[in-house]
Amino acid sequence: MAPLDLDKYVEIARLCKYLPVCGLAPSGCGAPGGPPFLSPGPPLGIPSRRGGGPRLCDYVCDLLLEESNVQPVSTPVTVCGDIHGQFYDLCELFRTGGQVPDTNYIFMGDFVDRGYYSLETFTYLLALKAKWPDRITLLRGNHESRQITQVYGFYDECQTKYGNANAWRYCTKVFDMLTVAALIDEQILCVHGGLSPDIKTLDQIRTIERNQEIPHKGAFCDLVWSDPEDVDTWAISPRGAGWLFGAKVTNEFVHINNLKLICRAHQLVHEGYKFMFDEKLVTVWSAPNYCYRCGNIASIMVFKDVNTREPKLFRAVPDSERVIPPRTTTPYFL
């Protein structure tokens, strides 16, 4: 089988086209009910170091296997929040912040669910990761989960577009390999949700077994589900998973780990970003007009160095510039 043409994969994904199912993983080849090829010529392959047939999901899993639970990243870097399948707004994000590989990116999870194009969005990010693995870091969000995606859109989208759940299964294997956190110049921690009462140091994050479905409780769960709030220390989260954590907890964690800032996503911010706790924590939200109805602005946070940060704001692409498929998103906020 010929090596994967990564440039071709990136170009296909950039056009908001999803790959033939056998372009995602080897066992998809010959699967019944798949769509016609959306790229010229046959599906493209890539050698997998784990053996077996060569395909994109396997290849990206191999890349992610080499990454730490707390992946080191150097400045300059641009940090992004939730995308939620809003493909055309992801393209607007890249127009605002610069294209890969010119700009180095950290995406803090929640790539899928709710938007019209979760499959195309995740495929695009995987293709970019495969082509430029050192220029894009993908963190796991609470929606990179089998249970959540079966309820909030991604599973149904894969079923609709492929006629079966094979592509969803391949993507969930990638979910399991996504790293939990990124550390910018050893001083800025990026994580999807927030802190955990079971985690005092970064080394404790490094010891988490991440190659699994997100548990219902415990440190791993908390890192992707918790939220900052005006509480003394810890409080029960109304989400039913993770915790609410306050300024005291944040300041202690930042001090113990010699951090300047915690970057996280996970919560809609109508202004695009929000600093809390004496600017020790910032929420970055990158899905404008969330669910195509919230009317919010989105942002990305550019770090030239650990002391120089610049939020860049952007609005949703006008309806005239996006294609709306004949289906609806799941009407729920989680």
Interatomic CA distance for residues 23 and 6, integer angstroms: 12
The burial of 143, by beta-carbon neighbours within 10 Å (0-12 exposed, 13-18 middle, 19 or more buried), is given as buried
Catalytic residue among 84, 143, 192, 266: 143
Question: What is 287-320 written as a DSSP string?
Answer: -TTGGGTS---EEEEEEEETTEEEEEEEPPPPGG
Residue 152 and residue 332 in contact, taking contact as beta carbons nearer than 8 Å? yes
Residue 205 and residue 70 in contact, taking contact as beta carbons nearer than 8 Å? yes
Q: Is 192 a catalytic residue?
A: no
Name the 3-class secondary structure at 118.
helix
Task: Write out the E strands in 110-207.
Answer: 136-138, 181-184, 188-191
The residues annotated with a catalytic role in the active site are 143
